[in-house]
Amino acid sequence: MVKNKIQKIIQAKSGNPVLRDFAESVPLEEIKSEKIKKIIEDMKNSLAREEEGVAIAAPQIGVPLRIFVVSKKIFQLIDAGKSDKNKFDDLVFINPEIIKLSKDKETMEEGCLSVRDYYGKIKRATKATVKAYDENGNVFERGGSRLLAQIFQHEIDHLNGILFTDSAKDVQKITKDKK
């Protein structure tokens, strides 16, 4: 049995330029390739291992491609108790673009798996719609509000080489024992 590899999440303090570079689009003909399938699987495995992680962008595991994955935990949370929690899967966004943002903005608490233990307040649109490809090469649109909209904006920032700490206010180190 082949064990799936869990990639180490790159930390901003490491200075690795992949977190600061603009990620490349995935060529459409490669979306269903073994290479892209493996990257997505590595991302899902790395995210599943993170108790507090709700999403991950490919650059966070060292891959400079425009892919992010939102954890099924988010959809279970949004749907809280309304249906079978096992019906949800992680949602994959390839070559995502925000096509709509609400004018309403809200200051939200935010953290990041690549800026471990640091949290700050950041102003984000309260609603966002993303257009992307799924892992089968199908185009789709997904809207979200509050937490999901925040995730979309945070992950696309990653794909553009932006970390939340670039614009967050009141950034503080909060370790588990302080929570």
133 Cβ partners below 8 Å, 6+ apart? 26, 28, 31, 93, 94, 95, 139, 140
Q: Is 50 part of the annotated catalytic residue set?
A: no
| Active-site residue identified among 24, 29, 110, 155 | 155
Contact 78, 102 (CB under 8 A): no
Residues serving a catalytic function are 155
